[in-house]
Chain A
Amino acid sequence: DAGVIQSPRHEVTEMGQEVTLRCKPISGHDYLFWYRQTMMRGLELLIYFNNNVPIDDSGMPEDRFSAKMPNASFSTLKIQPSEPRDSAVYFCASRVLAGASGADTQYFGPGTRLTVL
């Protein structure tokens, strides 16, 4: 399996621009998570989906952030408009079907390093 795939790996943009981060979970996984990592706040959950449905978006910082999962193999995290304080590494993770061996383990993608100037 290719693992969780994220694109782009690096993104540099200017304040006010729209940013779209993409994620392809591991095939067969029914949970998908978006995390953000910063020096100040560490790793924090932004939102997660179960069977393509958003379950908990309480970690989304504000209305400028939105996430979608149109199908089981693709999710996006969008920031519009972007601000310098959004600079961070954004991780996507997925989890195997509930009940299967190792169902509790989340597997992470390589992350997207976002820099907003």
Chain B
Amino acid sequence: AQTVTQSQPEMSVQEAETVTLSCTYDTSENNYYLFWYKQPPSRQMILVIRQEAYKQQNATENRFSVNFQKAAKSFSLKISDSQLGDTAMYFCAFMGFQGAQKLVFGQGTRLTINP
């Protein structure tokens, strides 16, 4: 079974700084998807960024980018020029190509951006 681990329960940075959230996963599959979701206090789950494992190029979405290391099974999220609105829980998630089409989530990292 796949597992996703986020080793940083909480992080805090100053506004405009860059912050990196860590995520590792375990799977025997070769093709899969990885995601970062953001959950602000409103509790809405919002997709931040997605990565297909068969693509070597790291995904980017404006201030958000990932460092995908397939061999190391690592998928970190970098937030550049952090903003107060980035304050939220961040969840890393895995979905395999085969079998159940379900997301497996990590435990989450609570990120606080301070003014």
Contact = CB atoms under 8 A, between A and B. Distances in A.
Interface of A: 31, 33, 42-45, 48, 50, 55-56, 89, 91, 93, 95, 104-108, 110-111, 113
> Interface extent on B, as a size class?
20 to 34
Contacts of B95: 104
* Closest A-B pairs by Cβ, 9 of them: A108-B45, A43-B105, A104-B33, A45-B102, A56-B100, A110-B44, A111-B43, A42-B107, A42-B105
Given A42-B107, A110-B42, A111-B44, A105 B101 contact: no
Nearest to A45: B102
Interface of A is mostly: strand
A89 B41 CA distance: 13
7 contacts: A48-B101, A56-B100, A91-B45, A93-B45, A106-B103, A108-B37, A108-B45
Nearest to A104: B33
B32 to A, nearest CB: 9
B68 interface: no
A76 to B, nearest CB: 19
Interface of B: 33, 35, 37, 42-47, 50, 52, 91, 95, 100-103, 105-108
A104 B105 contact: no
A108 B44 contact: yes
Given A45-B102, A95-B101, A89 B43 contact: yes
Contacts of A33: 102-103
Contacts of B52: 104
Contacts of B50: 104-105
A113 B43 CA distance: 10
A78 B28 CA distance: 35
Contact of A31 (B33, B101, B106): B101
B102 A56 contact: yes
B90 to A, nearest CB: 12
Given A48-B100, A91-B45, 5 more contacts: A33-B102, A93-B45, A104-B52, A104-B95, A108-B37
B79 to A, nearest CB: 20
Contact of B47 (A31, A91, A107, A113): A107
A111 B89 CA distance: 15
